[in-house]
Structure formats: structure tokens, C-alpha cells
Chain A
Amino acid sequence: METILASALMLMRWDVLAALLVGSVGGVIIGAIPGVGPAVAIAILLPATFSMEPLVGLTLLLGIYGSSMYGGALPAILINTPGTAVNALTTYDGHPMTLRGEARRAVSLAYSASFFGGVFAILCLILLSPVLALVAPMFGSREIFLAALLGIVLVILAHRGQVFAAGMLACFGIFLGTIGLEPVKYTRRFTFEQSWLASGVDLIVVVLGLFALSQAFILLTERESAPKPQRFSGSLFGGMKELMRNKRVASVSASFGVLMGMIPGVGEFTAQFLSYSYAQRTSKTPEFFGKGAPEGLIAAEASNNAVPPAAMIPLLALGIPGEALTAMMLSVFYVHNVIPGPQLFQDHMDFVGALYLSLLLLNLLVLAFLIVSGGLLTRIIRIPTRFLGMLILTLSFVGVYSLRNSITDCAMAAGFGVLGVVLKRLGLPVVPIILGMVLGGIMEVKLRSAMARVKTPLDFIDRPIAAILFALILLVIALHVRSLFRARRAERTP
């Protein structure tokens, strides 16, 4: 109780509340604009948050992270174009409902399901906190190394059909993280005698290049488009009643979101896949899925909105980000010398609590904003794509330049921007590069300190959590190989 009060007091400051309001409203707007997305917005704003207090900066970014999927549902339903990548499944049942003249019902249902998923996940997070505070200190160097390794393995294997590409890009990310002055022996690695490479490749430069600049280049190079969404009017409160009639689907979908969000590298797509499959399998009218089934819409939105709060669990408890957005947030922690991990739960539980409460508050703010702003958001969707590209390019300059006032950083970001264009056009994943950079750095440091304390390789897994993590790594690889063989056998069978 004392902790909750202390957390609430931390939150009740005008600057924190203002950051939360700007982040959550901004996140909805950003999410509603197809072609921008939370990754671009967070990448641009990241350096600006470095001069803010940790809680202010983090609530701003959390606001964007947690609310963008609400906004992303709107273009998915109205114009059949997802605002963010994770709203793609929403188009399957949301847009057919619009075509049937039920746009208001679909939007209302999507917002209600999103709200339910978000709040459900935060409550799980709060209830899990005592367990996390108990378990997190049991993670030493070797356990964190193995957890990071598990994260890398899952990131690679999660890109089904592109495992080789994800693997080579994750390794490329690890390589990028090793460039520059090595921190223990102070030797240079892959600097090619260039002084500008001695300080290494900054994560934010790579993030801005791969996410923001590449998106700007694509929008400016591709043909212009300015969608014209269908207008809708009327109350948005009806969705909550309909959601309550489908509370089983909503609860199971949100649970999948929480579970998948907690596992590094898995995230929204797997949660949606499992939720949608479950909803379809247990529905009385499975034939309507993909043609405007409300349960399908609920499954998609409840599961994807449950992921962001759950993704904070490995980040806060172990310092291990599960996907690109939490990897970006990790750099805010480091800049302010707040090191996420077991110690954070012991020493700064009020700070962790304030983050939880801010997540809860942002869901309420977003819902209130959405109920009053439907008309405004339909106008935002209509911003022409090339104009958006120009805006992103201009905003990216602030992000890169303000980091170290370095023209070299800008040139590197532009280079990564072109690489990002190539990867996005080829449909190859960008996220493994970012996670490779972050997790590679963690693995190097933790392996070095862990190996100093073990005599034989088997000593490395002689503690229960280390043994479980090692077994999990072997298990996920074995399951992946097994599924490949089964798929191959199924293909051969006529």
C-alpha cells in the first residue's frame, strides 16, 4: 500500500501528467496515420527525452507505445490499411463491417477490446510484481546471459520462413554493437583506423536510420496516395456492452497477449495468431471470420493491446528488451543511470509502480480522447504520404543531430536509412538488427563476468534458473526443427 501511494505521488506531477497526456494523445494520432507508426515516433523523440527526468521521458514514450495500436485500428477498419503493422489482423473483420455499414460498431468494438486488453495486462503486471521482485534477484550474470540468448534465439525463430535472414541480421546487429573501443582491454575493434568509428555505432543512430529515415525515403520515393476514409457518427459506448457479451474471447485473447508479451522476441503477431485461432475454433459461426465477425475483431485488438504492458516485464525485471520499442526505451533508462534489472525491483519499487500506474492512466486517457475525437482522426488519416515523408525526414534530423551534434552520425543514419529501405522492400525483418545490438552487448558483458566464476562448462548451468533457461533454449530449437520436418512431411503427403 505504501508503495502504491509513493508511486501515485511520483505520478501526480504536472510534468509527468503532461508527458502522459501528450504521449497518449500523440500515440493515437501517430497510430492512426498509416506509414508512421510508434517505432518512427519513438525513434525521433528518443534524444529529446534524454534531457527530461527519467519518469517524464519514459511516460512520454510509454504513452506513444501503449496508445498507438488504438489509433492504428481506425484506418484498418475504415480504409482497410492498418495504421501500425500489428493492426493488420484488424482489417480482416473490421473492414468488412465497414462495408456492411457498421463502421461505428466496428470502431467502438475495437476501442473497447483494446481498452480491455490494455487494462487486463496492467492488472496482471501489478499482480505479478511481488513474484517478479522475488524471482528477479535470482538472476545472476549467467542467468541474464542465458535469458538474452533465449531472446535472440526466439527473435530468430519467430520469423518463420525467414529464419536465415533473421539470423544473419541479428548477427549483423551483434557485430554493430562490437565496433569501437572495447570496454575492458581498451583495444579497437573494426575501426579501420578511423577516429569516428572509435566511439562505436550508437543504437539511436541505427534505430533512426532503420525505422524513421527508411520510412521517409520509401514514402517520398513511392507513388503518392491520400486515402479518403468513410465518415461515421454516433455514440462509441455500445462497444463495451458487446464486448461483455464476448468476455470469454476477450479474456483469453488478452491472456495470450500477456503471455506472448512476456517472452522476449515473440510479441503481438504470435499473440494475435493464437487468439484469432482460438476465437475462430470456439465460435458458433466460424464461417464469418474474415467477413466481419465481431469476435475476430475482439481477438485481434484485445491481444495486441495486452502486449505492451507485458513486454515491460522482461525489460524491468531483467533489463532484457523483447522487441524494438522496448529496446529503444532501454536506452532512456541507461542515459539516466537507472539500470533495469533485479536491483530496480528492490531499490526503486515506487518508480516501477509509477510506470504501472501511468500505463493504467494512459488507457483511460486514450479511451476518453477516442470517444470525443472520431471525426478529427478520420481527417488525420488523409494526410498525403509524400508530405508525411517530408515531415519524418525533417523530424529525423532533430533526433540524430541533437544526440551528439555529429554530422558523422547523420551520415551513418542516412546509410542505415537506405539499408532499411532495402530490407523493408524485400520484406526482411529490421527488428533482429536492433535486438542483436542490444542483447549482444548484454551477452558479452554477462558472459565475461560469468565465465570468471565457473571452472567447467557444466558449472554454467548448475543453478536452477540457469538450467531451466538452458533447457528452454534447447526445447525451442528442437520444437522448431520438429515443426519444419512435420511441415515438410505434410507437403510431401498428397
Chain B
Amino acid sequence: MTEPRSFRALFRRERKPGDLLFAALFLAFALFLLARLPDQTQWMKRTGFAAQPAFWPGVAIFGMVGFGALHLLSSALSPRMPGRWREALFWARSAEYALWFMAYVFAAPLLGYLPATVLFCLLLAFRAGYRGAGIGWAAASGFGIVLLFKTFLQVKAPAGALYEHLPEAARAFMLTWF
């Protein structure tokens, strides 16, 4: 259903499929935290109320539970939108790229920043559906990112266990610049 294009529509928000699911999960998480509040924080003797270590986590969690319950209620009372599980599937599909990211995180200290970055860009571009020139652009972009951050800006990046196997001069060069 398309809405008439109006200025006010820009500022109005609508509930989307999956809203109820998220609201329920959030409230369950908030209730879990509330149940753990006594054993995860301390209430100390001879200490003022505002200075208690448990005070601010308590304020935050009670707020999460209160607002979370109201949000769940408003979601439950609003007209149901179809596509809840299709939306949940989208969330799960996006988690695939979180795994790609973590694979890159683990590969960089082993292979070194430059090889891991170029390889990551190549493989991810392939996964994203690029072929031919797209793959070349991806590798070049990876190299450019390393050049900018490690070579020029000297940002702390993993050195790479693989570099240890290089000849002395090459190893020092790679450790410093790539």
C-alpha cells in the first residue's frame, strides 16, 4: 500500500513487521537483568543512596523493564503487520556478515593486515556477487585502505604471524608499513 506523499508523513513512524518479536525479546532480556540485579551489583552499608554501586544499574534496568513493557503493550495493541518471520530471517541473514567480519578479525593477526585485508575484500566481493572488474576494484580498495590507515596514519593494526617467516629486510618493512 503506498501512502500519499505528504510533508507530515516524513515525521510519522509506522510499526514494521517484527516489532512485536523484538519488543518481547527486549523485555525478556530486561527481566533477566532485573533478576540478576541483586547478585551482579552491591548495596553497601553507610553509603548514601545516590552513591550506591547498585543505584544506576537499578535505575537503568527498572527503566528498561517499564518502558519495554509499555513498548510491548503498544506493539501488541497495534494492527498486526504480516512478514514477522521473513523479517527475522533478514536479521539472521545479516548475521552472516557478522561472521565474515569475525573471520577477518581472526585472520588479520595470522596473515598480517595487508594480506588479510586484500583477501577479505576479494572474497567478500565475490560473495556479494561481483565478478571481473568488480573483484579487481575490491582488491585495490583493500590495498588503498591499508595504505591510508597503516602506512600513512600509522594506526595500530595487527602485525601478522606470517610476516615472521619473511627474510629479515622484508619482515621489518612489512611490519612497519603493512
Contacts and interface: CB of A to CB of B under 8 A. Distances in A.
Interface of A: 47-48, 51, 88-89, 92, 160-162, 164-165, 167-168, 170-172, 174-175, 178, 182, 184-185, 187-192, 213, 216-218, 220-221, 224, 269, 273, 276, 280, 289-290, 386-387, 389-391, 393-398, 401-402, 405, 407, 410-411, 414-415, 417-418, 421-422, 425-428, 436, 440, 443-444, 447-448, 450-452
A178 B60 CA distance: 9
Contacts of B30: 168
A161 B48 CA distance: 37
Q: Is the interface of A mostly helix, strand, loop or mixed?
A: helix
Contact of A48 (B95, B97, B137, B153): B153
A290 to B, nearest CB: 6
B71 A168 contact: yes
B28 to A, nearest CB: 13
A171 B67 contact: yes
B176 interface: no
A174 B48 contact: no
B60 A440 contact: yes
Given A387-B125, A393-B100, A425-B87, A418 B94 contact: yes
A448 B51 contact: yes
Given A421-B94, A425-B87, A390 B124 contact: yes
B155 A390 contact: no
A170 B67 CA distance: 10
A280 B8 CA distance: 13
Contacts of B66: 167
Interface string B29-56: 0100100100011101001111101111
B69 to A, nearest CB: 9
B98 A418 contact: yes
Contacts of B111: none
B2 interface: no
A414 B155 contact: no
A178 to B, nearest CB: 4
A175 B60 contact: yes
Nearest to A186: B53
Contacts of A47: 155
Q: Give the 6 A-B CB pairs with smallest separation, nearest first.
A: A171-B63, A167-B67, A168-B67, A175-B60, A164-B71, A174-B60
A207 to B, nearest CB: 16
A161 B91 CA distance: 24
B162 interface: no
B85 interface: no
Contacts of B10: 88-89, 92
Contacts of A192: 36, 40
A187 B60 contact: no
Q: Is the interface of B mostly helix, strand, loop or mixed?
A: helix
B128 A178 contact: no
B94 A172 contact: no
B108 A191 contact: no
A407 B110 CA distance: 13
Contacts of A168: 26, 30, 63-64, 67-68, 71
A217 B64 contact: no
Contacts of B40: 188-192
A99 to B, nearest CB: 13
B94 A217 contact: yes
A188 B74 CA distance: 35
B90 interface: yes
B63 to A, nearest CB: 3
Contacts of B137: 387
A448 B60 contact: no
A175 B29 CA distance: 12
Given A187-B53, A425-B16, 13 more contacts: A89-B7, A171-B63, A172-B60, A172-B64, A175-B33, A191-B40, A213-B98, A221-B97, A390-B121, A407-B106, A414-B102, A422-B18, A452-B48
Contacts of B48: 448, 451-452
B154 A189 contact: no
B7 A397 contact: no
B1 interface: no
B153 to A, nearest CB: 5
Contact of B145 (A218, A398, A443): A398
A171 B63 CA distance: 6
B101 A427 contact: no
Contacts of A394: 104, 117, 120-121, 124, 141-142, 145
B156 A402 contact: yes
Nearest to A213: B101
Interface in B98-126: 98, 100-102, 104-106, 108, 117, 120-121, 124-125
B168 interface: no
Contact of A440 (B47, B56, B153, B158): B56
B3 interface: no
A224 B129 contact: yes
Contacts of B102: 410-411, 414
B5 interface: yes
B177 interface: no
A276 B74 CA distance: 31
A436 B57 CA distance: 12
- Of B5, B19, B60, B145, which is in contact with the most chain A CB atoms at under 10 Å from its CB? B60
Contacts of A218: 94
Nearest to A417: B98
Contact of B154 (A51, A220, A290, A447): A51
- Of A89, A192, A386, which is in contact with the most chain B CB atoms at under 10 Å from its CB? A386
B74 A185 contact: no
B57 A175 contact: yes
A449 to B, nearest CB: 9
Contacts of B153: 48, 51
Contact of B7 (A92, A184, A269): A92
Given A192-B40, A451-B48, A390 B91 contact: no
Contacts of A92: 7, 10
A190 B57 contact: yes
Contacts of B91: 418, 421-422, 425
